[in-house]
Structure 1
């Protein structure tokens, strides 16, 4: 079995470590976190490996996962390069969605790659059950991406390859769909709160329609899935909602306007007439100061 060392065993690192360990893909060895206590907690979660206090204490390994924050990857790679020397036959990879494998150039002659799982690691215990079926975007040396494709496939993932120069655009697409969805739900909760509906009730109310909307989009595409007042050109409803939101929270009304304008453009690709679209754009545009 190939060996794996983990630098930065946070929510992502310890989830992957445990899944690979349990599947017999890798034998987890050294685990390094910013604090030894956190490394020890990751060791306990993974059920294998050994927490170490410093990089110099890490054993040799076939694979090195650098799972620290994006801003720390380059500096971590520099320190790791000193530790590895010019050892060959190693695969070093990070899991940043925004950075390419080129940030690991200092680690050559090791094979380098980036492997970004399109998955929310908000709760590692939940991820253990839900990670199967996730997609992973691979980029880097062919030998490294081939080995990582095998490793991720073994724990139930689908993989795709992308070019280094496209990493930022690829990641932006993931951010908009995932992170911004979370923001939209938060904005929705603010609107419900203004209507006197408590948070727990609002979340229970939202759950089935949000999940159904997501399923519709995956099956039918955004143009067919779009419903609501803008999709049907209901100017009166939009105007009334905007008026009431403005009275409660100008900031919430601002977000409603901006999202509404994007919604109009999507609706125009469906059945919204140009005349209705023009009226909605005029209504939703920010008032002149």
Structure 2
């Protein structure tokens, strides 16, 4: 995964698609349709509207999506998906990953896609292959994944400022993809088609598993009698996150980084007695931490081996 300079994406090159300008000119104003007026789709639609594009139609089935569209896309009619495609020069596909392929293929089956349209989806895991039925109909396909969490509130539009987007496109369409990201206020990062799965797994591990890890630590503190776990964890975890982002494995502290087998064994005993559901996660994370500490030179082999032996024995016992 590589990043392109922001300035390099400022002007799209000539691409034979409706609404796109010749090279060197400002991006044309596009009629935008949004399929999936959820937390992501409604926010991106609002960002495109703020950039001067016209959001002309949206699709959203749930009551929450309708309420969100009313807040973020006022006056935009909610219509069936095929009508969104018919109305838009640019179609934003912000639907769950598991429904994306079926949606694109289904719209192709009805003849909804047309030559010269642009379409981008917001899935982190999928690349261009999922848009093949639309591309076969003459659509310019893009994958633009905002690496950001969304609540669907109006302030999310401001959170897009400098937010990273994982961008995948045909090489000749890359300036167009990056220009759209910049117009929404984001920062384009290039992700090759073959790397989309790994890219998304990395983000899910970092964001989703971090929430689980913090919640687990807070629960253990409550079990230990700490009434306000957040006050204890905030300075510690803030410093740890900053250190990890700046220095990676060099920021590691704690018993594993010291090769303190006795402390880790005591943790396992205490967790087994008072929080048995937490043992498996502790063992898995401690083992991976030990492996990374060894690889980074934070632990010497003779220090890491007893830790790994202890953790493997615990796994075998369970």
Q: 1:270: Cα distance to partner?
A: 3.1
Q: Deviations over 1:26-63 (max 9, x none)?
A: 2211010124x445323322244523242344352111
Does 1:281 find its partner at 2:308? yes
Q: Secondary structure of the residue that 1:100 maps to in structure 2?
A: coil
Does 1:51 find its partner at 2:77? yes
Partner of 1:13: 41
Task: Count residues with an aligned counterpart.
Answer: 284
TM-score by length of 1: 0.90
Partner of 1:267: 293
Q: State which drifts further: 46-55 or 85-94.
A: 46-55
CA contact (8 A) 2:168 2:192 kept: yes
Partner of 1:131: 160
For 2:41 and 2:218, the matched residues in 1 are separated by: 31
CA contact (8 A) 1:5 1:29 kept: yes
CA contact (8 A) 1:39 1:52 kept: no
CA contact (8 A) 1:111 1:143 kept: no
CA contact (8 A) 1:43 1:51 kept: no
CA contact (8 A) 1:223 1:270 kept: no
Q: Secondary structure of the residue that 2:281 maps to in structure 1?
A: helix
- CA RMSD after TM alignment: 2.1
Tell me: CA distance 1:279–1:86, structure 2 relative to 1, closer, same or farther (3 Å).
closer
CA contact (8 A) 1:18 1:45 kept: no
For 1:86 and 1:98, the matched residues in 2 are separated by: 23
CA contact (8 A) 1:101 1:164 kept: yes
Question: Counterparts in 2 of 1:135-146, with a 5 A limit?
Answer: 135-142=164-171, 144-146=173-175
Question: Counterparts in 2 of 1:1-289, with a 5 A limit?
Answer: 1-24=29-52, 26-35=53-62, 37-58=63-84, 59-82=86-109, 85=112, 87-108=114-135, 109-122=138-151, 124-142=153-171, 144-198=173-227, 201-220=228-247, 222-268=248-294, 269-285=296-312, 286-288=315-317
Tell me: CA distance 1:86–1:257, structure 2 relative to 1, closer, same or farther (3 Å).
closer
For 1:69 and 1:5, the matched residues in 2 are separated by: 17
Unaligned ranges ≥5, structure 1 = none
CA contact (8 A) 2:34 2:59 kept: yes
Tell me: CA distance 1:55–1:197, structure 2 relative to 1, closer, same or farther (3 Å).
same
CA contact (8 A) 1:31 1:49 kept: no
Tell me: CA distance 1:48–1:125, structure 2 relative to 1, closer, same or farther (3 Å).
closer
Tell me: CA distance 1:215–1:97, structure 2 relative to 1, closer, same or farther (3 Å).
same
Partner of 2:17: none
Partner of 2:5: none
Q: Secondary structure of the residue that 1:227 maps to in structure 2?
A: coil
Q: Deviations over 1:111-148 (max 9, x none)?
A: 11211111112454453333222211111234544223
